[in-house]
Structure 1
Amino acid sequence: MSNLSAQPISPLDGRYQSQVKDLGNHLSEAGLNRARLEVEIEWLLWLASRNLLGSGSEISTKEAFALRAIAGAEFGDTSIAKLAELEAVTRHDVKAVEYFIREQLKDMQRQDLSELVHFACTSEDINNLAYAITVKSAINEVWLPKANVLVEKLTKLALSHAGVPMLSRTHGQPATPTTMGKEIAVFVSRLNRQLKRISQQEYLGKFSGATGTFAAHIAAAPDVEWLEESQGFVESLGLSWNPLTTQIESHDWQAELYGTMAHFNRILHNLATDFWTYISLNYFKQIPVAGATGSSTMPHKVNPIRFENAEANLEISNAILDSLSATLVTSRLQRDLTDSSAQRNIGVGFGHSLLALDNLDRGLDELALNEAVLLGDLLENWEVLGEAIQTAIRADVARGESDISDPYALLKELTRGKKVGEEELLVFVNSLAVSQETKERLLVLRPERYVGLAEELTKRIRS
């Protein structure tokens, strides 16, 4: 057997790498280490600039710039390799980051700052802030922009088809007509609610030592207002301070975020299956992509693979996100390590969701609405006007303008389980003992006009 051990085993790092690569800047091991470096360096600078330990170790603007560059412009393949080399010795990822910074300080001839590195910190002080930083940046810089682009595309599609009538299919059966735009607008409204929640997500961070008590801090420098310093430091990183924790930040914000993302994914899954169904009904024509093959044996086929692939990726994403939401909120006593392994899969959950967004974005570009089929379908189902007729009769009865008993039963007898054409309905309406105004209104009613306020409702997605 040939040796393929160096090949990626995840499709996100192989077949689909080009679609999700931007997440690697945030949710990869390298991205996590860069954030760890950022937290460690900012804490060093915080301690020194505020002289919290009375060391008098000043740091010049130039030196501060050089230190921040370690986790910024200078962070790259060389840094990644060096961190891996250190971790191979320490067998501890955060300790490797600490030693890496100590070596940088030695090169800068600032060994006097060495004991400020990782001062009074447990590794989880660094990790929880690093994860919050990377998840927040991944959401705001990669996932949300992609999600917003898709929802905007759906918004434009809804508005452009706001007035295009379509036969509804409640329970898969012909039902009161709607418009294609209004049905897409329902998804836009649902998705926007979840995007709003995600965009307003709070990212919490703790910085309080081995069991969340600031015990080591007080032992080393009892006169420092450590609660204020901790809050100020966490908030300086763009995070919200969590003062009450065990050794770990409780991860409730992560469970909230991943739960909302999973909800967004499920709405998208519903959208994908609906569009797949519309395609199968020929409501949407698929635009063939030059050179593409639909079936290896049936040359005529154009398959809705974008929507099918989206379904699969959304399901995989939710399997990860749901698992994270359930796992991360539980930690035995003051600390166990289940969250460590679990959080390394955040990028996998995000990646499959991002891939699904790409699937749907491309899929929508390959569709064209087939208005002739939509109209033909409506004209094959005049019986859907039964609702309108029986409701109008009931209104006349309520006003004392008709004495027809049980209008619903009357229309049920005429239409239930039957195909009723235009002529039959016209004859039926003409025979009704209703007001002339009602009769005239019903005689001009057609399936494609029986869409209520669908177009007006669709336009509300811009309000």
Structure 2
Amino acid sequence: MQLTQILPAIALTSLDGRYHKQTVPLVEYLSEPALNRERITVEIEWMILLANGFDGNGNRPVLEGIKPLTDAEIRYLRSIPEVFGAEGIARHAAYEAKTHHDVKAVEYYIDDELDRASSVLVANTQLPNLKTLVHFACTSEDINNLANARCVKKAITLVWLPKARELTDFLASKAEEFKDLPMLALTHGQPATPTTLGKELAVFVHRLNRQLKHIGNQEYLGKINGATGTFGAHTVACPNADWLAISREFVTNRMGLTWNPLTTQIESHDWQAELYGTISHTNRILHNLAVDIWMYISRGVFAQVPVKGATGSSTMPHKVNPIRFENAEANLELSCSFLDTLASTLVESRWQRDLTDSTTQRNIGAALGYSLLALDNLLGGLKSIHPNFDVIARELDENWEVLGEPIQTAMRAQEFAGRKGMERPYEKVKELMRGKSISKADIETFIDSLDFDEATAARLKELTPQTYTGLAARLVGFDRQ
């Protein structure tokens, strides 16, 4: 049996196969049928504007000889993309097989629906006679750029961004929960000034929120201006219409996008480069988070909750592997590779038009799909771990040498205050502590050997690795205060 003969067809990529459940929400907006549905919407709304809209000079309609569409006719037209389903997808595909042109297939599909209008509406509806209004003065890219922008905008605002915010909000709740939990920090992999677990999580919350704010404020640009962006055919056919005003009205108010008045045949895609660059940056922050959590688990700072019935290794029964974080790492890397290619490729086009952007944009779903999959795994992984309080406490108890920093800094302040014997504080503390195992008693003996004032000496003696966390707890959520 050849796998290619099995029906329904086996998915080629993991996004549509193994991971379909996690990525399926994007099908609604970034699949080929979703794009065609949006193309139909753009074509229909352009028809409605030309028939019932304004021409920029207060004259209605834009084209002479067209009666204003009735409410029933408008409802019928808008129902065409709304009911675009399995039968419509197959019919569009049949047209594309003949025309070898996806947008022309959309035009013919709408023509069919206009013919059907007489059987649905009153017999004297004008819709069957409006086929020449479909795609009027448009180049394919007038339709494609608007449809793509609307698809991407919906995918980001309705699927990707809510998932990213869900993860960030969960991380923020854990940062708040553990803001007072002291933890040994490691710089260059070596014991360093203690922090709190909550503060370290809050660093990622702060970084992610900055990027999500940029994404939430992203502009989505669109254009409708003809074959080379000059409104050439428009002005010849209807010279009295204000096509700049019509274009602005359609893109801004009918399509919900930001109007781009200056383009070649294609919308320049700069907004896409901006968006994908920011999401790629966000992915890399998430990658940093996944790696850090993986290492915290390896170190024992986090313990994993075993899943009943799950297997960590085919040969080592004891293992609980951090597979969600590893999965997130790999998929974030894949997403970044797609996004970086999209961002760099889409901003270039040979002279007024080439087709490199067309095939490239068909991978937007994959780029966001890998990122969405990573977000799902990261969130699931974060929900399946908890701090290992014993390990965290033991690490702090075993590293009293981290108090060398506050002691030598206090010595500097004491020297300025005129206390004797405080010179060369860094060197003195270094001689005491570097490369040695230090105890609480060693710290107290060293403090007693110096001429600290009573308040400073008492403050230093009260200090422990557990309490030496500075303002870490206050920093959690500081950017939201």
Q: TM-score, structure 2 length as denominator?
A: 0.95
Does 2:63 match 1:53? Answer: yes
Specify the code of the residue in structure 2 equivalent to 1:52.
V
| Matched ranges for 1:397-436 at <5 A | 397-436=415-454
| CA–CA distance in structure 2, aligned partners of residues 405 and 460 of structure 1 | 37
Q: Is the 8 A contact 2:421 2:450 kept in 1?
A: no
Does 2:137 match 1:137? Answer: no
State the Cα deviation string for residues 339-391 of structure 1 (Å, max 9, x = none).
Answer: 00100000000000000000011101110111121111011000000000000
Could you tell which deviates more after superposition, 24-33 or 395-404? Answer: 395-404
Q: Is the 8 A contact 1:154 1:184 kept in 2?
A: yes
State the Cα deviation string for residues 374-426 of structure 1 (Å, max 9, x = none).
Answer: 11101100000000000001001011133421100101111122221111111
Specify the code of the residue in structure 1 equivalent to 2:217.
Q
Match of 2:99 among 90, 97, 101: 90
Match of 2:80 among 61, 70, 74: 70
| CA–CA distance in structure 2, aligned partners of residues 55 and 433 of structure 1 | 100
Specify the code of the residue in structure 2 equivalent to 1:205.
G
Residue number in structure 2 paired with 1:3: 3
Q: Is the 8 A contact 1:178 1:454 kept in 2?
A: yes
Q: Is the 8 A contact 1:167 1:374 kept in 2?
A: yes
Could you tell which deviates more after superposition, 253-262 or 5-14? Answer: 5-14
Residue number in structure 1 paired with 2:121: none
Q: Is the 8 A contact 2:179 2:472 kept in 1?
A: yes
Residue number in structure 2 paired with 1:79: 88
Residue number in structure 1 paired with 2:57: none
Specify the code of the residue in structure 1 equivalent to 2:365.
G
Q: TM-score, structure 1 length as denominator?
A: 0.98
SS in 1 for 2:130: helix
| CA–CA distance in structure 2, aligned partners of residues 297 and 402 of structure 1 | 65
Does 2:32 match 1:26? Answer: no
| Matched ranges for 1:269-418 at <5 A | 269-418=287-436
| CA–CA distance in structure 2, aligned partners of residues 97 and 413 of structure 1 | 79
| CA–CA distance in structure 2, aligned partners of residues 322 and 416 of structure 1 | 45
| CA–CA distance in structure 2, aligned partners of residues 3 and 384 of structure 1 | 61
Residue 462 of structure 1 and its aligned partner are, at CA, apart by 3.8
| Matched ranges for 1:109-258 at <5 A | 109=118, 110-235=127-252, 236-258=254-276
SS in 2 for 1:292: coil
Query: Percent of counterpart pairs with the same letter?
Result: 57
| CA–CA distance in structure 2, aligned partners of residues 105 and 211 of structure 1 | 29
| CA–CA distance in structure 2, aligned partners of residues 185 and 150 of structure 1 | 13
Cα RMSD (Å) of the superposition? 1.0
Does 2:42 match 1:39? Answer: yes
SS in 2 for 1:99: helix
Cα separation, partners in 2 of 1:115 and 1:391, compared to 1, 3 Å: same
| CA–CA distance in structure 1, aligned partners of residues 84 and 4 of structure 2 | 30
Structure 2 unmatched runs, 5+: 54-60, 119-126
SS in 1 for 2:186: strand
| CA–CA distance in structure 2, aligned partners of residues 402 and 123 of structure 1 | 83
SS in 1 for 2:185: strand
SS in 1 for 2:477: helix
| CA–CA distance in structure 1, aligned partners of residues 267 and 136 of structure 2 | 18
Residue 101 of structure 1 and its aligned partner are, at CA, apart by 0.5
Q: Is the 8 A contact 2:3 2:10 kept in 1?
A: no
Q: Is the 8 A contact 1:310 1:355 kept in 2?
A: yes
| CA–CA distance in structure 2, aligned partners of residues 134 and 114 of structure 1 | 25
Residue 169 of structure 1 and its aligned partner are, at CA, apart by 0.3
Residue 461 of structure 1 and its aligned partner are, at CA, apart by 4.7
Specify the code of the residue in structure 1 equivalent to 2:341.
S
Q: Is the 8 A contact 1:57 1:113 kept in 2?
A: no
Q: Is the 8 A contact 1:204 1:239 kept in 2?
A: yes
Aligned residues: 462
Structure 1 unmatched runs, 5+: none
Q: Is the 8 A contact 1:209 1:215 kept in 2?
A: yes
SS in 2 for 1:162: coil
| CA–CA distance in structure 2, aligned partners of residues 215 and 12 of structure 1 | 43
SS in 2 for 1:404: coil
Specify the code of the residue in structure 2 equivalent to 1:307.
F
Q: Is the 8 A contact 1:294 1:302 kept in 2?
A: yes
| CA–CA distance in structure 2, aligned partners of residues 152 and 290 of structure 1 | 27
Q: Is the 8 A contact 1:188 1:461 kept in 2?
A: no
Q: Is the 8 A contact 2:174 2:201 kept in 1?
A: yes
